[in-house]
């Protein structure tokens, strides 16, 4: 089963820190967490301060890093099938997924240990493959973005059938 991954983080550089992470399966319950102890506002780019932070709901979704790691492990353990993690930005998102999912010693055996790059899946599409698929701008909210990625994948799959 595919899990669609999206993350929000402080900035686009190697010092970036995780803000939020979402996993949306093809079928079933989604997962979303906002980190409370991995970054400070001062770590964030102006773009993130203006577009990402205002969308957070730490009272509802906020967790410490340790609690988020336990929650991700529990979520992944709830699946009995092999999981393929898919992202449109795996060079960024995968590192954060690994931070929460487990070290090499504790990696969930049913999770494929490398991401699927959705951009590679979509790059060979012809214009008519898209059909009536609407390509909205991502809202820069990990859960909403992951839902959009899952919906786009499903629509494209349906159009190719």
Q: What is the CATH number of the domain that holds 127?
A: 3.30.420.10
Give the per-residue SS3 of the chain: CEEEEEEEECCCCCCCCEEEEEEEECCCCCEEEEECCCCCHHHCCHHHHHHCHHHCCHHHHEECHHHHHHHHHHHHHCCCCCEEEEECCHHHHHHHHHHHHCCCCCCCCCECCCCEEHHHHHCCCCHHHCCCCCCCCCCCCHHHHHHHHHHHHHHHHHHHC
Number of domains in the chain: 1
Most confident of 4-18, 103-117, 130-144: 4-18
Using CA atoms in the order 59, 34, 19, 114, what is the torsion angle rounded to 10 degrees? 180
Which pLDDT does position 156 carry in this prediction? 80
| Mean pLDDT for all residues in the chain | 90
Which pLDDT does position 89 carry in this prediction? 94
Per-residue pLDDT reduced to its tens digit, 76-122: 999 999 999 999 999 999 999 999 998 657 889 999 999 999 987 76
Which pLDDT does position 119 carry in this prediction? 86
Per-residue pLDDT reduced to its tens digit, 23-40: 999 999 999 999 999 999
Given a cut of 60, whether residue 126 has pLDDT beyond it is no
Per-residue pLDDT reduced to its tens digit, 41-78: 999 999 999 999 999 999 999 999 999 999 999 999 99
Which pLDDT does position 102 carry in this prediction? 82
pLDDT: is 120 or 7 the higher one?
7
Given a cut of 70, whether residue 125 has pLDDT beyond it is no
Confidence (pTM): 0.90
- What domain range is 88 assigned to? 2-160
Which pLDDT does position 129 carry in this prediction? 52
Rounded CA-CA distance 80/30 in Å is 15
């Amino acid at each position: 089963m595919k899990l669609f991954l999206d993350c929000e983080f402080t900035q686009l550089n190697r010092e970036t820190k995780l803000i939020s992470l979402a996993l949306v399966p093809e079928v079933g319950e989604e997962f979303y967490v906002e980190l409370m102890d991995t970054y400070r506002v001062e770590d964030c780019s102006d773009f993130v301060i203006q577009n990402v932070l205002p969308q957070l709901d730490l009272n509802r979704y906020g967790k410490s890093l340790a609690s988020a790691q336990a929650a991700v492990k529990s979520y992944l353990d709830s699946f009995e099938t092999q999981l393929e993690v898919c992202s449109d930005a795996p060079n960024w998102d995968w590192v954060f997924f690994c931070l929460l999912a487990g070290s090499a010693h504790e990696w969930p055996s049913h999770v494929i240990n490398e991401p699927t790059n959705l951009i590679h899946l979509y790059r060979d599409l012809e214009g008519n493959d898209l059909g009536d698929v609407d390509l909205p701008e991502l809202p820069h909210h990990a859960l909403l973005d992951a839902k959009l990625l899952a919906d786009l994948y499903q629509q494209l799959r349906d159009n190719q059938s």
